[in-house]
Amino acid sequence: MPTIVMTPTMNKLDGTLKRKAWAFIEKLTTSDDTLGLHIEPINNSVDSRVRTGRVDQQFRAVLFKIQGSGPEAYYVLHGVWNHDEAIEIAKKSRLSVNPVNGVLELVQEEPVAPPAPRAEPVQPALAASVSDAEQSVVSPDAAITPETAAEPVLRARGISLADLTDVLGIDRDLAAGAVEATSDDALSAVADRAADQVIWQGIALLEIAAGSSVLEVQQSLELERAAVALDSSDDDAVIAALQRPASRTGFSVLDDDELRRAIEEKSFDAWRVFLHPEQRDYAERRRLGPFRLSGGAGTGKTVVLIHRARSLARANPDARILVTTYTRNLADALKADLLRLDPSIVLALKLGEPGVFVTGIDAVAAAVLRDASDLSGAAREVLGVDAAGVAKRTNKNEWTDALESAGQNLPTDARSVPFLQAEYALIVLPNRITSREEYWKARRPGRGVKLDRAKRSAVWDVVETYRRRSRLDGSIDFEEAPALAAAALERSGQHLCDHVLVDEGQDLTPTRWQLLRALVESGPDDLFIAEDSQQRIYGRQVVLGRYGIGIVGRSRRLTLNYRTTAENLAFAVGVLSGASFTDVENTEAVSAGYRSARRGPEPLLIGTETVSEELQAAADLVAGWLNDGLEPETVAVLTRDQRQRHFVMEGLRERGVQAREVDAGEAGVGLPLVMTMHRAKGTEFSNVLLFGLGARAMPSPVATKGLTDSDLEDALLRERSLLYVAATRARDQLACTWNGERTRLLPEAAEH
Ligand SMILES: Nc1ncnc2c1ncn2[C@@H]1O[C@H](COP(=O)(O)OP(=O)(O)OP(=O)(O)O)[C@@H](O)[C@H]1O
């Protein structure tokens, strides 16, 4: 059976043609002699290995047959086109091994785009010199005087043509275009052009455009020099080149299972097969201890986590692997993605059994508590009581009631439910404080409000009251449950997992981290943490080192955004500007260097006078998108809270636009969706409308009411992050509406 190698173009077919193309591939997998496939070479083609095959009367597949020294051929599928176009494309397509780095490329002998202004050969040594670069700056038709001519962007950064061609292996014309670019936009445009030709070169130039050095690009794409000169005409060299990490951004050798599924589904998800070398490395390389993968929204952290779970499961089918995250909706989505990546993966039915167990972190706590052997010991250690009811969760109002009944002596800056809840979750529980005396002595780093002994006593009065009431009620709260579970595990000396992988780690609270730490023994591949501190919309900033999770030196960041267009990304990053975020290692989180592989329309910003006008604008936008032919479920309207979600649903309905209100559970298909920004975490849509971005609605008055100064600061940070999360859900078109004054969290941009 021949080996089938896919390129991304094979996924761009629609309708009947798609069906026929996959039927063609299916036949090809059995034998290339199959009657009717008409696999034929093309006269006068630049690559003698190119073939066309008959998809139907009108369409032809263009493919390469690589025989090599093995018994079976490799078929590299380039794409499917109308007969005449296919012949033209086949004639000029060449599979070529990059002479600098051994990466496989599919190139067109005649460039599709007009040649860059400076196409004549340049001696690499000379190209690096200033005089040469100066000559090449001025395009013949640009009326720019030497005084006004802008300096090429890359020259200012000390990057020469030779760096791009001879060190990185970038095509000479593209490299010439890049070194001549006098603005970031012009440089990005060259990167876009490169991506249309050879994907890895597009990524390399995008990384350069975003500020990476030549060495950094070399490392990120694993572009070390080819050890031997590779000969493109040698089939075995081509087959070897397929394995280079950067080749795998544009070519995927499907294994039997993947191929069978792709044929069944008549497509394959790019994220399943075309990983960036960095993503592949983070998914596959074994680590000596906890590993943190950070990165902006849409950079593929979840994709890496899912690939890593599979890789660990494949390496040891008996391993007990936990994949978890903060909310149940997200855990369900992770499970669905894991099964999409690999339906044969063995899911564990219970925590602690071999296989991959996917569930929300609170369900993990509940599962541990259900089976814990020494619950009373854990209750004594954490809560200072002999027994705790672990099946029931404490009512949210208990803190308010405890504050009212025992908070008379509290200082003003500690007299709020959010303050007390945070003090309990960040200090009391993780330190297992069970007495007033212990609380007096506790260290309280990062808590803002200073508390002397008397003030601490006043806080403790409320904590004690809260605990007493919960005990009478027979309940524990959502912070206590993981604290107890962690203590129970520690007392049992048992580790229920061999590997724990956490998504959206920034939202986890200290006791949840303690639980994760207790689930898995410290050692190789114990914890893999995907997180983005700038997307923290729950909980408080946490420093992992305080909970036995030492990451030092095992932290990496992804920066290439696969989801959002450059326009939406710039807008979303603008939401973050002016605020400072601290990550789980207690260092400043940065958003510099994020870049997008895609371009699209500018975000639409629509301010109206009245709320009814805003609803009308929303209804018009959504109706317009549907009229343009978007699949309804790829359109989402996001709101700040549930009340507004109902309001928008009603407003759209009154204006003739049917939509589906999404809360917990699956989003469903067939209608545009309306959900809160919180619910939208981890999802993505083609077009997204952020409704209600007025100054009075965001920051939310409810979320910021009655807070102490430092709590308010953190709440405002979370509001900003929430808007960032919401804005980064759009793949293509982002729109924002408000009535009256707009929120100050929005970055400055033109109104439409
Ligand atoms: N190598 C890849 N090739 C193609 N698509 C990719 C690749 N990596 C990620 N993607 C796509 O990019 C999008 C974002 O990926 P993912 O959800 O993993 O990002 P994330 O960093 O977890 O985002 P967020 O923080 O917003 O949840 C998804 O549509 C995913 O399929």
Domain of 578: which CATH number?
3.40.50.300
300 is in an annotated binding site: yes
296 is in an annotated binding site: yes
Do 651 and 713 lie in a common domain?
yes
Is the beta carbon of 305 within 6 A of some atom in ligand 1? no
- Tell whether the model's pLDDT for residue 125 goes beyond 70: no
Domain that holds residue 354: 275-370+484-558
pLDDT tens, residue by residue, 166-200: 999 999 999 999 999 998 889 988 998 888 889 99
Do 190 and 215 lie in a common domain?
yes
Do 61 and 152 lie in a common domain?
no
Do 600 and 730 lie in a common domain?
yes
Q: What is the pLDDT of residue 101?
A: 93
92 is in an annotated binding site: no
Is the beta carbon of 294 within 6 A of some atom in ligand 1? no
pLDDT grade for 131, boundaries at 50, 70 and 90: very low
Do 576 and 533 lie in a common domain?
no
Ligand 1 atom at minimum distance from 535 CA: 25
> How many beta carbons lie within 10 A of that of residue 19, not counting itself?
12
Q: What is the pLDDT of residue 9?
A: 85
> How many beta carbons lie within 10 A of that of residue 687, not counting itself?
25
pLDDT tens, residue by residue, 605-646: 999 999 999 999 999 999 999 999 999 999 999 999 999 999
Q: What is the mean pLDDT of the chain?
A: 89
In a domain, 228, yes or no: no
pLDDT grade for 310, boundaries at 50, 70 and 90: very high
Is the beta carbon of 563 within 6 A of some atom in ligand 1? yes
Do 437 and 502 lie in a common domain?
no
- Cα separation, 408 vs 254, in Å, equals 68
- Cα separation, 689 vs 691, in Å, equals 6
ipTM topping 0.90: yes
Strands 50-54 and 59-66: antiparallel
Is the beta carbon of 532 within 6 A of some atom in ligand 1? yes
pLDDT tens, residue by residue, 43-63: 889 999 999 999 999 999 999
Contact criterion met (CB below 8 Å) for 195 and 181: no
In a domain, 111, yes or no: no
Strands 673-676 and 660-661: parallel
Coil, strand, or helix at residue 679?
coil
Residues in the chain: 752
pLDDT tens, residue by residue, 132-151: 333 333 333 344 444 456 88
pLDDT tens, residue by residue, 422-467: 999 999 999 999 999 999 999 998 888 899 999 999 999 999 999 9
Do 92 and 200 lie in a common domain?
no
DSSP symbol at 591: -
Do 162 and 207 lie in a common domain?
yes
- Cα separation, 742 vs 740, in Å, equals 6
692 is in an annotated binding site: no
Domain boundary residue, one of 476, 501, 526: 476
Token pair for 241 = 């080149």
Q: What is the CATH number of the domain that holds 45?
A: 3.30.2310.20
In this prediction, residues 530-549 reach a mean pLDDT of 90
* Nearest residue to 514 via CA among 554, 482, 550, 551: 482
In a domain, 340, yes or no: yes
Ligand 1 atom at minimum distance from 562 CA: 12
Specify which residues 249 forms β-bridges with.
none
DSSP symbol at 343: T
Q: What is the pLDDT of residue 669?
A: 80
DSSP symbol at 406: H
Do 527 and 591 lie in a common domain?
no
Kindly list the distances between the CA atom of residue 196 and the CA atoms of 105, 111, 400, 508, 559, in Å, as whole numbers in the listed order: 12, 11, 59, 40, 20
Q: What is the pLDDT of residue 229?
A: 60
Do 515 and 431 lie in a common domain?
no
* Nearest residue to 599 via CA among 270, 180, 250, 191: 191
In a domain, 380, yes or no: no
- Cα separation, 516 vs 485, in Å, equals 10
CA of 561 to the centre of ligand 1 (A): 7
Cβ burial 569-578 (10 Å sphere, 16+ → b, else e): bbbbbbbbee
- Cα separation, 751 vs 69, in Å, equals 62
Query: Which residue owns the Cα nearest ligand 1 atom 11?
Result: 562
The H-or-E segment that residue 492 falls in is helix 480-492
In a domain, 262, yes or no: yes
- Ligand 1 pocket mutation pick from 303, 533, 557 by most atoms within 8 angstroms of CB: 303
Please provide residue 531's backbone torsions phi and psi, each rounded to the nearest 5 degrees: -155, 160
Residues 6 or more apart whose Cβ sits within 8 Å of residue 247: 103, 104, 200, 241
Coil, strand, or helix at residue 730?
strand
Domain boundary residue, one of 558, 582, 600: 558
Is the beta carbon of 303 within 6 A of some atom in ligand 1? yes
Coil, strand, or helix at residue 65?
strand
Ligand 1 atom at minimum distance from 299 CA: 21
Contact criterion met (CB below 8 Å) for 526 and 554: no
pLDDT tens, residue by residue, 226-278: 776 678 889 999 999 999 999 999 999 988 888 888 888 888 888 999 999 99
In a domain, 333, yes or no: yes
Number of domains present in the structure of the chain: 5
CA-angle at 17, arms to 16 and 21, nearest 5°: 120
Contact criterion met (CB below 8 Å) for 222 and 245: yes
In this prediction, residues 364-385 reach a mean pLDDT of 95
pLDDT tens, residue by residue, 687-696: 999 999 999 9
CB-side neighbour CA atoms (13 Å) of 386: 0
In a domain, 200, yes or no: yes
Do 211 and 239 lie in a common domain?
no
Domain boundary residue, one of 436, 455, 476: 476
pLDDT tens, residue by residue, 703-743: 888 787 778 888 899 999 999 999 999 999 999 999 999 99
Q: What is the pLDDT of residue 149?
A: 62
Query: Which residue owns the Cα nearest ligand 1 atom 27?
Result: 682
CA-angle at 431, arms to 330 and 390, nearest 5°: 55
Is the beta carbon of 270 within 6 A of some atom in ligand 1? yes
458 is in an annotated binding site: no
Is the beta carbon of 536 within 6 A of some atom in ligand 1? no
Amino acid code (one letter) for 255:
D
DSSP string across 159-176: --HHIIIIII---HHHHH
Q: What is the pLDDT of residue 670?
A: 87
Amino acid code (one letter) for 219:
Q
Ligand 1 atom at minimum distance from 275 CA: 1
Please provide residue 573's backbone torsions phi and psi, each rounded to the nearest 5 degrees: -65, -30
Do 460 and 588 lie in a common domain?
no
CA of 563 to the centre of ligand 1 (A): 6
Strands 3-6 and 252-253: antiparallel
- Cα separation, 475 vs 413, in Å, equals 28
In a domain, 511, yes or no: yes
Ligand 1 atom at minimum distance from 729 CA: 26
- Cα separation, 641 vs 73, in Å, equals 57
Ligand 1 atom at minimum distance from 728 CA: 26
CA of 271 to the centre of ligand 1 (A): 7
- Cα separation, 676 vs 681, in Å, equals 9
